[in-house]
Amino acid sequence: MKEFRLSKSQIEQLAEKYGSPLYVYDEETLRTRCREMKNLVSYTHFKPNYSAKANTNIELLKIIRSEGFHVDAMSVGEIILEEAAGFLPEEILFISNNVTSQEMQFAVDRGITVSVDSLSQLETFGRHFPGKKVGVRLNPGVGAGHNKKVITGGKSKFGIELEEITTIKAIAEKYSLHIVGINQHIGSLFLEGSKYVSACHTLFEAAREFDELEFVDLGGGFGVPYQGEDRLDLEKLSRQMQQVIDEFLESYRNKELEIKIEPGRYVVAECGVLIGQVNSIKVNYSEKYVGTDLGFNVLMRPVLYDSYHGIVVYNNSEEEEKVTVVGNICETGDVIAKDRVLPVMMEGDYIAVETAGAYGYSMSSNYNARLRPAEVLIQCDGTDRLIRRRDSLEDLARQL
Ligand code: LLP
């Protein structure tokens, strides 16, 4: 498929119409990525659950739902947004982490399945909702991810150790709970699937210990290249997963068992770019800084994880130079790209930060009392549509 890249005139038109900074998403790319995930496993009861934390824009959620996805939620807020996008209770899985009984209640009242993340939360669930169905998140001991902050399998706060399965069953019995699902998520962004497949194998082994399962959820983490790496080999991963799944299903009693995955980044990362504008250029102690309106309140990933994002410069410059591209936030760490060789830029030039659709807007903030940007969708017919307005100064003042 062709990579999503805006032309110079498109960028200029969009920035003129909607302002800068601006998140722009491409519907066609989004749908393509959805279909790839949907076709990963061929099994009637295979269901990709989009992990909404990657991007909760309601219009994008609607498109993802229209591609046949269900969805996971990490919070009551995500549940509200998912409902607003049309997801039904039975299409939502609340993968909770350290929540109150009131938050559990919110989901239970709506008929949304809750998966709990510790023995203590299973106790809390049991005390408040005896006799109900519940899922548990297991931690298979294996992790994978682009940064230690996002590796969740193994030593982390997430999931219940496999050694505790007997205790899980004892708590379930004490409160007459039905363990209807097990899930895991070993971490975010792998471009090589062996650890994921091995964790799937481990989870299915664990699944044999439960006999009322309605679903097994293998988690997300499917990576995309940010820096020209080879793409995740979906065909190979598909073959490997299919084998593990088939082996398990052969001998499991519930032939209708749903198998879920939870991709977030893979679905939305590549359909999004972030447009920004150059406000100043300076040399300080022999380092050249390109000062833009893309502070880390708008895109946090480079600052938080040292993540690399490609930058496209929209000017006619034929010369290149090494620069550090920074934002407009009052911290030295407010850097989007350090020592990057890019076309020589001038004040007023537009740039686009690539692969910004996942964990871009969803992690943006009002730090420095800055406004979060608008979001625009390029629809399949080529027209553009505002799908979230920019914050206004009145929005900030409304906090009083
Ligand atoms: N399921 C669970 C339970 C998760 O915690 C996550 C992500 C996912 C699924 C989806 O993972 P994905 O397919 O997107 O890798 N902010 C970080 C990523 C944090 C991921 C948190 N959990 C980043 O910008 O790289």
What is the pLDDT at residue 340? 98
Q: Is 48 in the pocket of ligand 1 (CB under 6 A)?
A: no
Gap from CA of 188 to ligand 1 centroid (Å): 5
Q: Is 115 in the pocket of ligand 1 (CB under 6 A)?
A: no
Write the CATH number of the domain with boundaries 15-19+270-391: 2.40.37.10
Lowest mean pLDDT among 12-21, 66-75, 243-252: 243-252
Using an 8 Å Cβ cutoff, are 329 and 336 in contact? no
Lowest mean pLDDT among 24-38, 146-160, 280-294, 323-337: 146-160
Do the domains at 15-19+270-391 and 96-263 have one common CATH topology?
Answer: no
Q: Give the pLDDT band of residue 400 (cuts 50, 70, 90).
A: low
What is the pLDDT at residue 72? 98
Task: Please compute the mean of the pLDDT values over residues 55-84 and round it to a whole number.
Answer: 98
Q: Give the pLDDT band of residue 151 (cuts 50, 70, 90).
A: very high
* Catalytic residue from among 200, 271, 330, 380: 330
User: What is the CA angle 64-365-369, rounded to 5?
Assistant: 145
What is the pLDDT at residue 235? 97
What does the pLDDT look like over 207-218, one tens digit per residue? 999 999 999 999
Gap from CA of 59 to ligand 1 centroid (Å): 20
> Active site includes 271?
no
Domain ranges of the chain: 15-19+270-391, 96-263
What is the pLDDT at residue 375? 98
What does the pLDDT look like over 293-340, one tens digit per residue? 999 999 999 999 999 999 999 999 999 999 999 999 999 999 999 999
Gap from CA of 292 to ligand 1 centroid (Å): 28
What does the pLDDT look like over 75-124, one tens digit per residue? 999 999 999 999 999 999 999 999 999 999 999 999 999 999 999 999 99
What is the pLDDT at residue 3? 76
What is the pLDDT at residue 254? 86
The number of the ligand 1 atom at minimal distance from the alpha carbon of 220 is: 13
What is the pLDDT at residue 399? 74
Q: How far apart are CA 311 and CA 319, in angstroms?
A: 16
- Per the prediction, the chain carries an average pLDDT of 97
Q: Is 302 in the pocket of ligand 1 (CB under 6 A)?
A: no
Residue 227 clears pLDDT 80, i.e. is over it:
yes
Domain 96-263 has CATH 3.20.20.10: yes
Q: Is 54 in the pocket of ligand 1 (CB under 6 A)?
A: yes
Gap from CA of 150 to ligand 1 centroid (Å): 7
Q: Is 244 in the pocket of ligand 1 (CB under 6 A)?
A: no
Residue nearest to atom 23 of ligand 1 (CA): 359
Q: Is 262 in the pocket of ligand 1 (CB under 6 A)?
A: yes
Residue 255 clears pLDDT 90, i.e. is over it:
no
